[in-house]
């Protein structure tokens, strides 16, 4: 299940979405997430689903690969649905043994589930279609105006990208450590809360050691390449907006305007 998490992974492909400027995709993700929390109208969620479906088709990322990223949050979705269905008051359509289900509860559960699923898929699409280097350059460029108030834009962008990039790596290592411990007789299927907490120790200790080792290796590699931060740093590929990027910005503005109108 740990390998099913798609946030932080990059899926190489030759698509229109991949060729977009990383700044467009970052801003687009922020706009999409904001729009999801701005309204609870059915028409707004249908529009968001249509837009997201179009992006998935244009990105050429396999739909199965995207859906795979929802497996780790299945229990979170189930918990969200249960809370909304069971504890939302309104016009009850079912009542038995103290369990009351209302129309408003079902509506709230549907909205929250749709919002959560589209939020995960929308965020994953940004990392799936943007390489770590492009993501770093895009975040840094967007943060450049804040340098005037002393914000270290390059360092902050680098840290965010490295953290995002190492999510799938650490999850893969966690999976390997769990399998190694299970082959030595470790029990991770126990229902006892105390034993579950104790079983995490043989996972967390080697995981932290590996994480610090990787961080040290990364620091040594950056020093060997004379990395000194963003000061006087040049880039082989400069970020330049093209016609498709301006068109994407126009579509974003139109989408946000329609969501506000709805």
Q: Which residues pair with 95 in a beta bridge?
A: 100
74-111 confidence digits (pLDDT tens): 777 777 777 766 766 666 666 666 666 777 777 777 77
d(CA 229, CA 158): 9
- Judge contact between 252 and 31, C-beta under 8 A: yes
| φ, ψ (nearest 5 deg) of residue 190 | -65, 150
d(CA 238, CA 91): 58
Check residue 232 and give left, alpha or beta (phi > 0: left; psi -120 to 50: alpha): left
Mean pLDDT by 10 residues, the chain (262 residues): 58 86 90 83 85 89 78 74 69 64 73 83 85 80 79 76 76 80 72 68 82 85 77 70 89 87 80
Instruction: Look at the chain and count its residues.
Output: 262
- Judge contact between 93 and 102, C-beta under 8 A: yes
CA 193 and chain centroid, separation = 29
102-129 confidence digits (pLDDT tens): 777 777 777 788 888 888 888 888 888 8
pTM above 0.75, yes or no: no
């Amino acid at each position: 299940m740990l390998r099913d998490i798609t946030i932080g992974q990059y899926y190489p492909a030759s698509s229109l979405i991949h060729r977009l400027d990383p700044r467009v995709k970052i801003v687009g993700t922020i706009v999409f997430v904001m729009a999801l929390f701005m309204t609870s109208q059915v028409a707004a969620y249908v529009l968001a689903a249509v837009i997201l479906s179009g992006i998935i088709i244009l990105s050429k990322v396999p739909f199965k690969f995207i859906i795979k990223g929802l497996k780790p949050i299945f229990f979170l979705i189930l918990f969200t649905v249960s809370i909304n269905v069971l504890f939302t008051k309104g016009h009850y359509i079912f009542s038995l043994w103290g369990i009351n289900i209302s129309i408003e509860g079902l509506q709230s559960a549907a909205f929250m589930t749709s919002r959560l699923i589209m939020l995960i898929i929308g965020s994953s699409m940004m990392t799936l279609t943007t390489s770590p280097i492009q993501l770093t350059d895009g975040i840094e460029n967007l943060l450049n105006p804040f340098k005037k108030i002393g914000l270290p834009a390059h360092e902050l962008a680098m840290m965010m990208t490295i953290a995002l990039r190492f999510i799938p790596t650490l999850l893969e290592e966690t999976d390997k450590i769990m399998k190694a411990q299970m082959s030595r007789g470790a029990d991770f299927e126990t229902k006892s809360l105390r034993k579950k907490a104790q079983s995490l120790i043989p996972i967390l200790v080697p995981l932290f050691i590996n994480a610090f080792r990787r961080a040290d290796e990364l620091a040594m590699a950056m020093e060997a390449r004379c990395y000194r931060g963003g000061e006087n740093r040049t880039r082989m590929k400069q970020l330049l907006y093209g016609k498709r990027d301006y068109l994407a910005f126009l579509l974003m503005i139109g989408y946000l305007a329609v969501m506000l109108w709805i």
